[in-house]
Protein backbone atom coordinates (compact mmCIF):
# COMPACT_ATOMS: atom_id res chain seq x y z
CA UNK A 1 0.00 0.00 0.00
CA UNK A 2 1.38 3.42 -1.00
CA UNK A 3 -0.90 6.04 0.54
CA UNK A 4 -0.73 9.68 -0.52
CA UNK A 5 -2.80 12.57 0.78
CA UNK A 6 -3.40 15.55 -1.49
CA UNK A 7 -5.71 18.49 -2.09
CA UNK A 8 -8.78 17.60 -4.09
CA UNK A 9 -9.24 18.90 -7.62
CA UNK A 10 -12.24 19.27 -9.90
CA UNK A 11 -11.63 16.03 -11.81
CA UNK A 12 -11.90 14.12 -8.48
CA UNK A 13 -15.55 15.11 -8.08
CA UNK A 14 -17.17 12.00 -9.65
CA UNK A 15 -15.22 9.85 -7.17
CA UNK A 16 -16.00 12.31 -4.37
CA UNK A 17 -19.71 11.99 -5.09
CA UNK A 18 -19.37 8.21 -4.95
CA UNK A 19 -17.63 8.46 -1.57
CA UNK A 20 -20.36 10.81 -0.30
CA UNK A 21 -22.93 8.20 -1.30
CA UNK A 22 -20.93 5.39 0.32
CA UNK A 23 -20.80 7.39 3.55
CA UNK A 24 -24.54 8.08 3.36
CA UNK A 25 -25.18 4.38 2.83
CA UNK A 26 -23.00 3.54 5.85
CA UNK A 27 -25.02 6.08 7.86
CA UNK A 28 -28.24 4.46 6.61
CA UNK A 29 -29.28 7.66 4.79
CA UNK A 30 -28.49 7.11 1.12
CA UNK A 31 -31.96 8.36 0.16
CA UNK A 32 -31.04 11.76 1.67
CA UNK A 33 -28.28 12.48 -0.88
CA UNK A 34 -29.61 14.93 -3.44
CA UNK A 35 -26.42 16.82 -4.41
CA UNK A 36 -25.47 16.59 -8.07
CA UNK A 37 -22.09 16.53 -9.71
CA UNK A 38 -22.90 19.90 -11.31
CA UNK A 39 -23.68 21.44 -7.90
CA UNK A 40 -20.41 20.10 -6.50
CA UNK A 41 -18.55 21.60 -9.46
CA UNK A 42 -20.30 24.98 -9.17
CA UNK A 43 -20.01 25.19 -5.38
CA UNK A 44 -16.42 24.02 -5.08
CA UNK A 45 -14.84 25.41 -8.23
CA UNK A 46 -16.87 28.51 -9.08
CA UNK A 47 -15.98 32.15 -8.40
CA UNK A 48 -16.34 31.66 -4.65
CA UNK A 49 -15.61 28.14 -3.38
CA UNK A 50 -17.95 27.03 -0.60
CA UNK A 51 -15.89 23.98 0.34
CA UNK A 52 -12.54 22.21 -0.09
CA UNK A 53 -11.44 18.62 0.27
CA UNK A 54 -8.47 16.36 0.76
CA UNK A 55 -8.12 12.98 -0.90
CA UNK A 56 -6.43 9.80 0.30
CA UNK A 57 -5.11 7.65 -2.54
CA UNK A 58 -3.59 4.21 -2.81
CA UNK A 59 -1.66 3.87 -6.06
CA UNK A 60 -3.75 6.67 -7.66
CA UNK A 61 -7.05 5.09 -6.52
CA UNK A 62 -9.17 7.41 -4.34
CA UNK A 63 -9.91 5.64 -1.07
CA UNK A 64 -10.73 8.42 1.38
CA UNK A 65 -12.15 11.90 1.72
CA UNK A 66 -11.91 14.82 4.12
CA UNK A 67 -14.52 17.39 3.01
CA UNK A 68 -14.53 20.73 4.84
CA UNK A 69 -15.47 24.40 4.87
CA UNK A 70 -14.81 27.37 7.14
CA UNK A 71 -17.45 27.99 9.81
CA UNK A 72 -17.64 31.17 11.82
CA UNK A 73 -18.50 31.08 15.52
CA UNK A 74 -19.62 34.35 17.09
CA UNK A 75 -18.02 33.12 20.31
CA UNK A 76 -14.73 31.75 18.98
CA UNK A 77 -14.16 32.93 15.39
CA UNK A 78 -13.05 30.78 12.44
CA UNK A 79 -13.20 26.98 12.59
CA UNK A 80 -12.60 24.26 10.05
CA UNK A 81 -15.89 22.36 9.85
CA UNK A 82 -15.30 18.78 8.78
CA UNK A 83 -18.49 17.97 6.90
CA UNK A 84 -17.53 14.47 5.75
CA UNK A 85 -14.67 12.22 6.70
CA UNK A 86 -14.72 8.80 5.07
CA UNK A 87 -12.37 5.92 4.36
CA UNK A 88 -13.45 3.02 2.15
CA UNK A 89 -14.18 -0.02 4.33
CA UNK A 90 -11.34 -2.17 2.98
CA UNK A 91 -8.83 0.53 4.00
CA UNK A 92 -10.06 1.13 7.54
CA UNK A 93 -7.83 0.27 10.51
CA UNK A 94 -4.71 0.51 8.33
CA UNK A 95 -3.61 4.04 9.25
CA UNK A 96 -5.24 5.78 6.26
CA UNK A 97 -7.74 7.63 8.44
CA UNK A 98 -4.99 8.90 10.71
CA UNK A 99 -2.96 10.19 7.76
CA UNK A 100 -5.99 11.97 6.30
CA UNK A 101 -7.22 13.35 9.63
CA UNK A 102 -3.75 14.63 10.54
CA UNK A 103 -3.45 16.35 7.15
CA UNK A 104 -6.83 17.98 7.87
CA UNK A 105 -5.49 19.14 11.24
CA UNK A 106 -2.42 20.50 9.45
CA UNK A 107 -4.70 22.42 7.06
CA UNK A 108 -6.42 23.91 10.10
CA UNK A 109 -3.04 24.93 11.51
CA UNK A 110 -1.85 26.44 8.21
CA UNK A 111 -5.04 28.51 7.97
CA UNK A 112 -4.51 29.68 11.57
CA UNK A 113 -8.04 28.67 12.52
CA UNK A 114 -9.31 28.49 16.08
CA UNK A 115 -10.16 24.80 15.91
CA UNK A 116 -11.90 22.05 14.07
CA UNK A 117 -15.47 20.77 14.44
CA UNK A 118 -17.55 17.89 13.13
CA UNK A 119 -20.54 15.72 13.90
CA UNK A 120 -20.58 12.00 14.50
CA UNK A 121 -23.61 9.76 14.86
CA UNK A 122 -24.07 8.48 18.41
CA UNK A 123 -24.12 4.84 17.22
CA UNK A 124 -20.89 5.14 15.21
CA UNK A 125 -18.60 3.76 17.91
CA UNK A 126 -15.59 3.14 15.59
CA UNK A 127 -15.63 6.81 14.51
CA UNK A 128 -16.11 8.06 18.08
CA UNK A 129 -13.18 5.96 19.25
CA UNK A 130 -11.07 7.21 16.33
CA UNK A 131 -11.73 10.87 17.22
CA UNK A 132 -11.09 10.23 20.92
CA UNK A 133 -7.54 9.08 20.02
CA UNK A 134 -6.90 12.75 19.27
CA UNK A 135 -8.21 13.85 22.68
CA UNK A 136 -11.23 15.44 21.00
CA UNK A 137 -14.42 16.39 22.80
CA UNK A 138 -17.55 14.53 21.72
CA UNK A 139 -20.58 16.37 23.06
CA UNK A 140 -24.13 15.16 23.42
CA UNK A 141 -25.45 18.51 24.68
CA UNK A 142 -26.48 20.07 21.37
CA UNK A 143 -29.37 18.97 19.19
CA UNK A 144 -29.25 19.49 15.43
CA UNK A 145 -31.80 21.74 13.79
CA UNK A 146 -32.42 22.32 10.10
CA UNK A 147 -34.91 23.52 7.52
CA UNK A 148 -34.80 22.01 4.05
CA UNK A 149 -35.10 24.00 0.82
CA UNK A 150 -38.72 22.84 0.38
CA UNK A 151 -39.57 23.71 3.99
CA UNK A 152 -38.10 27.19 3.56
CA UNK A 153 -39.98 27.64 0.31
CA UNK A 154 -43.28 26.88 2.08
CA UNK A 155 -42.79 29.30 4.98
CA UNK A 156 -44.96 32.38 4.71
CA UNK A 157 -42.96 35.41 5.82
CA UNK A 158 -45.16 38.08 7.36
Q: Which residue from 63, 15, 64 is spatially nearest to 40, judged by alpha carbons? A: 15
* Residue 54 contacts residue 5 (beta carbons within 8 Å): yes
Q: What is the pLDDT of residue 158?
A: 84
pTM of the model: 0.93
**Cβ neighbours of 73 (radius 10 Å):** 12
Domain range for 42: 3-153
Distance CA 55, CA 61 (A): 10
Residue 158, in any domain of the structure: no
Residue 23, in any domain of the structure: yes
Residue 74, in any domain of the structure: yes
Catalytic residues: 131
Q: What is the CATH number of the domain that holds 60?
A: 3.40.630.30
Tens place of pLDDT for every residue, the chain, 158 residues? 899 999 999 999 999 999 999 999 999 999 999 999 999 999 999 999 999 999 999 999 999 999 999 999 999 999 999 999 999 999 999 999 999 999 999 999 999 999 999 999 999 999 999 999 999 999 988 888 999 889 999 999 98
Residue 75, in any domain of the structure: yes
20 contacts: CB under 8 Å, gap ≥ 6 = 33, 35, 65, 67, 84, 86
Q: What is the pLDDT of residue 118?
A: 97
Distance CA 140, CA 120 (A): 10
How many domains is the chain built from?
1
* Residue 100 contacts residue 54 (beta carbons within 8 Å): yes
Distance CA 53, CA 103 (A): 11
Amino acid sequence: MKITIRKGIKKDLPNVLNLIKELAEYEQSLNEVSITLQELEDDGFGKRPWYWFLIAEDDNKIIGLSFYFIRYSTWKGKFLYLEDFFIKSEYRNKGVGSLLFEETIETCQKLKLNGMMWQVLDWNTPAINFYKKYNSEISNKWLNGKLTKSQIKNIKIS
